[in-house]
Amino acid sequence: MAAPELARYVADWPRMDDIGFVATDGATDVGAVWWRFFPQHDCGYGFVDDQTPELSIGVVHEARRSGVGSLLLRTLIEEALRSGLPALSLSVEPDNPAASLYERLGFEPVPSSGGALTMLLRMRS
C-alpha cells in the first residue's frame, strides 16, 4: 500500500465491479486473481480502455509452476465470459515467465508505452 502505483490494484477492495478468486491448499491461501476497472485518467499499467478490466494475479513462490496460476486465470476468464465482458487486459514484464502462460491462454500483446507488455484477451463465447 506504500507504493501508490501498485496500491490502486487493491485499495478499497472490493469496489462495486471488482471480481476475484483465491486458491487455497488446505487452510493456506496460495494465490489470487482479480480484475478491476480503471478510468483513463487514473489507469493501471495494463490499461486498454474503460470497458476492459485489468487483471492482477499472484501465486506464492512455493506454489508456482504447479498449475495454480493457470487454474486461477481460467476461472477468471470463465467469469469474464459469463459477465459478458469484451476483453481482459494485463501488464507483464517481457522477461517474466508468466508471459508465456498468458500467451497460451490467448492473451496477445497490444501497443503500449513503457517497457512492460500490455496484453489483451478478447472474449469469445
One digit per residue, the tens of pLDDT, for the chain of length 125 reads 577 677 778 888 888 999 999 999 999 999 999 999 998 888 888 899 999 999 999 999 998 888 999 999 999 999 999 999 999 999 999 899 999 999 999 999 998 777 789 999 999 75
List, for residues 59-92, the tens digit of each pLDDT value: 999 988 889 999 999 999 999 999 999 999 999 9
- Please give the residue range of the domain that contains residue 99: 4-122
Query: Is the CB of residue 75 less than 8 Å from the CB of residue 83?
Result: no
* Peptide bond before residue 14 is cis, with ω within 30 degrees of 0: yes
DSSP 74: H
Q: How far is CA 67 from the centre of its chain?
A: 16
Q: Supply the CATH number for residue 64's domain.
A: 3.40.630.30
β-bridge pairing 54-59 and 19-25: unpaired
What is the pLDDT, as a whole number, of residue 111?
82
Pure H helices in 1-125: 4-7, 68-83, 98-104
Domain count, the chain: 1
